[in-house]
Amino acid sequence: MACLQLSVPLLAGSRPKLTTVRCASDRQELFNRIAPVYDNLNDLLSLGQHRIWKRMAVSWSGSAKSGDYLLDLCCGSGDLTFLMSEKAGERGKVIGLDFSKEQLSIASSRQYLLSKPCYNNIEWIEGDALDLPFSNGYFDAITMGYGLRNVVDKRRAMREIFRVLKPGSRVSILDFNKSVQPLTAFFQEWMIDNVVVPTATIYGLAKEYQYLKSSIDEFLTGKESEKLTLDAGFSYARHYEIGGGLMGNLVATR
């Protein structure tokens, strides 16, 4: 889908601004609806473990350092973006890109409230993972948390990541794991049916979180994810199972 980017720079000490990019989809609307309770549900449903997994994902993105240009793709409310910002420091630049305007609004508010000096290096962009508004070889590292599973064209998304990443740099992609182990797959499905959806029902979001099961069913296994990445041109790819096999992290080097 086409997206229009309108650049809005962030000045030191000013309230964060959103860069507006016009794009639309059913999934975009879904994530807009769940945005107000997204963080609370993540903490509740994972017992806070998602914060550990996200730190692992950032660590796997490579040796990002002060002054680097970093991208957090499908950034949601900004958890990974803030972690990447701390690596880039005040001399660096971090882009948090997502297709959900509501998620970005929450991320921007968090940036303002947390008010760490290094967070002034963050710019939020509402945009399309399939048509990234950046030049070739622009970023020193890229993270993507719970996003690849939700893009409509995973091959194109991976090619776009490859395109905007500098040679020799890494992308780290955290998501649910589509396990090939029957017991793990059964437990994951049981958790969604008996814990995730009933909990989401309390917030009036049962239908939105029922989508989770189908999105995992349609997702790639670890080996399939590695092949997808190598087919996009990456020189190295490795998928790690974490969280007892319920989550996975794909690491690839351009």
On whether the CB atoms of residues 106 and 126 are closer than 8 A, the answer is no
Work out the pLDDT band at 2, boundaries 50, 70, 90. Answer: very low
What is the layout of strands, in order, in the sheet containing 69-73?
5-6, 18-21, 122-126, 93-98, 69-73, 139-145, 165-176, 247-253, 236-242
Backbone φ and ψ for 179, nearest 5 degrees, come out as -75, 145
Query: What's the one-letter identity of residue 106?
Result: I
Of 27-31, 132-136, 178-182, which gets the smallest average pLDDT? Answer: 27-31
pLDDT greater than 60 at residue 140? yes
Instruction: Tell me which residue of 169, 168, 145, 173 sits closest to 158, measured CA to CA.
Output: 173
Instruction: Return the percentage of the chain with pLDDT > 70, whole number.
Output: 86
Backbone φ and ψ for 125, nearest 5 degrees, come out as -130, 125
Work out the pLDDT band at 7, boundaries 50, 70, 90. Answer: very low
- What does the alpha-carbon distance between residue 228 and residue 237 come to, in Å, rounded to a whole number? 9
User: What's this model's pTM, rounded to 2 decimal places?
Assistant: 0.84
Locus of tokens 């921007």: 108
Domains of the chain as residue ranges with CATH: 24-179+220-253 (3.40.50.150)
pLDDT greater than 70 at residue 12? no
Q: Give the pair of three-digit tokens for residue 94.
A: 């971090």
Residues 206-242 have pLDDT tens digits of: 877 777 778 888 899 999 999 999 999 999 999 999 9
pLDDT greater than 90 at residue 129? yes
Give the 3-state DSSP-derived string for 34-48, with helices as H, strands as E and coil as C. Answer: HHHHHHHHHHHHHCC
